[in-house]
Amino acid sequence: MSKKAIGFMDSGVGGLTVAKLAIQELQNENIAYLGDEARLPYGEKSKEEIQQYSLQIANFLIKKEDIKMLVIACNTATSYALSYLQDNLLIPVIGVVNPGSIAAVNNTKTNRVGLIATNGTVKSGAYEKEIKKINNDVEVFSQGCPRFVPMVENQEFKDSKTQIVVDNDLSTINKDDVDTLILGCTHFPIMRDLIQKSVGDNVKLIDPGHETVKQIKKILQDNHIENNEVSKPTYSFYTTGNPDNFNKVANEWLNFEVHAKHLSIKELEEL
Ligand code: DGL
């Protein structure tokens, strides 16, 4: 039993898609979230940069919020820094790529799975590796969609013009005849409707967040660190970017008032 918070990290608001599911499913758990908007997009950064940023964020959440486990709620950071953080931290660390892969393999009937993600995640081959480990017969068709993350961060995801961009960027994957499509970037569930409209109702969209929350639950149980005490949980949010922008997306997505605190990169670097 532990009342400590679960830490969530992402380059921006994307990780809120995982945090939201955790808030719904793990109702006693306290949550501490950090979005590194000042250094977004992670999808265009090097492995070394992503590892360094991820470790800084983890150290901040451990020192300031005393988190009991870390969820890398970012596919790009999971692809490049999951094992690095697991090797360097004393708390359990989980990512989203293994959960997303399990969910996709469980769903596909045709063994043709699509992946849309950042260029970094696609280039890393992390999903392909993970999926092949689970079922070598599954073929993975990947597409980098670097224009989607800024559209979510800038709240342009409801714009009708956005559908044109989505249709255009998914035109290749739409020819690959997949029956399952992984939303391999945590920002993408926020624009899920646009993506579903583009790929059609016959393609099942996989949000790795659901399976991730199942794995979080199991880690909490296996390590005997669940919070069994029924009381109102606390949620704290930090952003290295503009808190007003963060709060706008967060309030709407989470359906409650979020007051994110600003954190400078200098503070993160000095830890
Ligand atoms: N949300 C992040 C992901 O899941 C990445 C966004 C970015 O490029 O910073 O990959």
Close Cβ partners of 90 (under 8 Å, ≥ 6 residues apart): none
Testing ligand 1's pocket by substitution, the residue of 47, 153, 186, 191 carrying the most ligand atoms inside 8 A of its CB is 186
- Is the beta carbon of 115 within 6 A of some atom in ligand 1? no
Mean pLDDT along residues 227-232: 87
Residue 230 pLDDT > 80: no
What SS3 state is found at 208? coil
Residue with tokens 């969609």: 145
Rounded Cα distance between 232 and 87, Å, is: 33
- Is the beta carbon of 124 within 6 A of some atom in ligand 1? no
Residue 244 pLDDT > 90: yes
pLDDT digits (tens, 9 = 90+) for 134-183: 999 999 999 999 999 999 999 998 878 899 999 999 999 999 999 999 99
Rounded Cα distance between 171 and 156, Å, is: 20
Q: State how far Cα 103 lies from the chain centre.
A: 15
Q: State how far Cα 207 lies from the chain centre.
A: 9
Q: Ligand 1 centre from 40 Cα, in Å?
A: 8
Q: In the prediction, which pLDDT does 202 show?
A: 97
Q: Ligand 1 centre from 15 Cα, in Å?
A: 8
* Percent of the chain scoring above 90 in pLDDT: 95
- Is the beta carbon of 127 within 6 A of some atom in ligand 1? no
What does the radius of gyration of the chain's CA atoms come to, in whole angstroms? 18
Cα dihedral 219, 225, 231, 232 in deg (nearest 10): -50
- Is the beta carbon of 121 within 6 A of some atom in ligand 1? yes
Confidence at 131, pLDDT banded by 50, 70, 90: very high
Q: In the prediction, which pLDDT does 229 show?
A: 86
Supply 178's token pair: 């997949």
Active-site residues, by number, are 74, 185
Report DSSP state, residue 175: G
